[in-house]
Amino acid sequence: MPDPQQPKRKPSRFPRAVAVAAVFGIIFFAALWYTVFNAVTAALVASGGAGLMIAGGTLSDMFESLLETLANVLLAIFGAIAAVLGAILSIFE
């Protein structure tokens, strides 16, 4: 049985920040590839941007809080899309 006096460990935000950076990297890659660059150049630029987001998140508290806010907004948008699709698909059952 765990000791109630012992403080609980705070969960790490790093996996969540990596997931958000990966999603924004993919969106950035798609936008660059669609508009201006070829696939290789767009992949290099997008991976550099995603790596910069992760490095900035680990070094700066302000950047980490910005990534956390973006993660919350992104998860809220995906949750709303899933709820709407679930409601639409439940009509056809």
Confidence of residue 4 (pLDDT cuts 50, 70, 90): low
Statement: residue 88 has pLDDT above 80: yes
CB burial of residue 9 (10 Å; 0-12, 13-18, 19+): exposed
Residue 36 in this model has a pLDDT that exceeds 80: no
pLDDT at res. 44 = 78
13, 64 Cβ separation under 8 angstroms: yes
Q: What pLDDT score does 40 carry? A: 76
Residue 10 — pLDDT band, cuts 50, 70, 90? low
Tokens of 40: 């290789």
Measured between its terminal Cα atoms, the distance across the chain in Å is 46
Residue type at position 54: I
pTM here? 0.47
Mean pLDDT, the chain, integer: 76
pLDDT of residue 12: 67
Residue 11 pLDDT grade (very low, low, confident, very high; cuts 50, 70, 90) = low
- Full 3-state SS string of 31-72: HHHHHCCCHHHHHHHHHHHHHHHHHHHHHCHHHHHHHHHHHH
Q: Write the CB contacts of 13 (distance below 8 Å, at least 6 apart in sequence).
A: 64, 67, 68
